[in-house]
Amino acid sequence: MTPQIPIVDSHIHLFPETHLKTLSWHSPTNPLGTQHSVNEYHHATKSNPALRGFIFLETDRLSSITPSPPNHGWQHALDEVSLLTRIALGTPIPGEGHLPDDKNLCLGIVPWAPVPGGPDVLSAYMQQVRDRTGVVWGKVRGVRYLVQDKVPGTMLGGGFVEGLRWLGKEGLVFDLGVDARSGGLGQLREAVEMMGLVYGDLEGEAVTIVINHLCKPNLRLEKVDIRSQPEFLEWKDLVTKMATASPKTYMKLSGGFSELLPLEAELEPDFAAIVERVQPWTDVIFDTFGADRVMFGSDWPVCNVGGGGNDVAWGRWRRVVEEVLERRGLSEEEKRGVWGSVALQAYGIEI
């Protein structure tokens, strides 16, 4: 990759040790169960001087659609917003793992939001986000409500659909997290149906939907003739429908190490073999979305689990993406897009 191409990492998570117990997935044995803040991210990206900055994605805090007890409410998600506000302002609390200069790395913030609650609930919640962020409210570029672990039908509820329409009117992006491998292709079918309802007759004010991690496809399928396997063919069909639902849908080239067999920390991976493994899937992404709607994301620190650890995983995924783009034969302008400018356009970020 040409060193001059600036990298915008469109998908990272951050959490200090003091917030671990507020994460819905945390347990003492979880491999991510320690602090992962900007200091650790610096270490992961130390050999990549082209990194311009990151877009933060919510970390799945304990939360609920309504703010009132006995449910978890909004407190933990809003505390995460406050953490990112301190990072964006360069006003760290001791022990949080970031420094004043790190504010220049924080290009965008995508917090959790109670999307299924519909416009009124969303509006009330986002007002609290605005109050927490203050002068850096402009860095809040969208929201995410993970659906990969929710009951079937969540995306088709009236509150969810109208909530997404409200986000479009407010100029906020929605990050869509579905999981084809662990959750099943039914999640993608539901997402396609949801997009049909959301976009309908909307045009200019339609919400931008940024799809995470290639929809988490089953990259562990037997390599022999992957392109003819039923699971791959249905994934391809559904992703194609997502791409054609609206020109305001985008895809993140991220999350691959979670769907591949784990890499060892000490052994140099066979990058050619990894690229050959993912290429049928990435070819579909570029064929359907086009290079102008595909963006690089690391999924740090989740990438560490399958990628060999914090010392090497970020750089390994960057190398895989570099090889994917080379094999695809992208122009220098298209490469610049995938590495950064597509993310800036999708999220409406100016740097």
The residue among 277, 290, 196 whose CA lies nearest residue 238 is 196
C-alpha neighbours within 13 Å on the C-beta side of residue 24: 13
Please give the pLDDT value at position 303.
98
Residue 263: DSSP 8-state: P
Please give the pLDDT value at position 223.
67
All structural domains of the chain with their residue ranges:
7-347
What CATH code would you report for 7-347? 3.20.20.140
Please give the pLDDT value at position 84.
98
C-alpha neighbours within 13 Å on the C-beta side of residue 204: 0
Instruction: Give the separation between CA 185 and CA 231, rounded to whole angstroms.
Output: 8
Q: Which residues contact 174 (CB under 8 A, 6 or more apart)?
A: 115, 142, 143, 144, 164, 167, 207, 208, 209, 210
Identify whether the C-beta of residue 98 lies closer than 8 Å to the C-beta of residue 89. no
Please give the pLDDT value at position 4.
66
Mean pLDDT, contiguous 10-residue spans, the chain (351 residues): 78 98 94 97 90 98 90 95 98 97 98 98 98 98 98 97 97 98 97 96 87 96 85 97 97 97 95 96 98 98 98 97 98 98 98 90
What token pair was written down for 126? 């986002």
Tell me the residue ranges of DSSP E strands in the chain.
7-12, 51-57, 106-110, 142-144, 173-176, 209-211, 249-253, 294-296
Please give the pLDDT value at position 1.
47
Instruction: Give the separation between CA 121 and CA 65, rounded to whole angstroms.
Output: 8
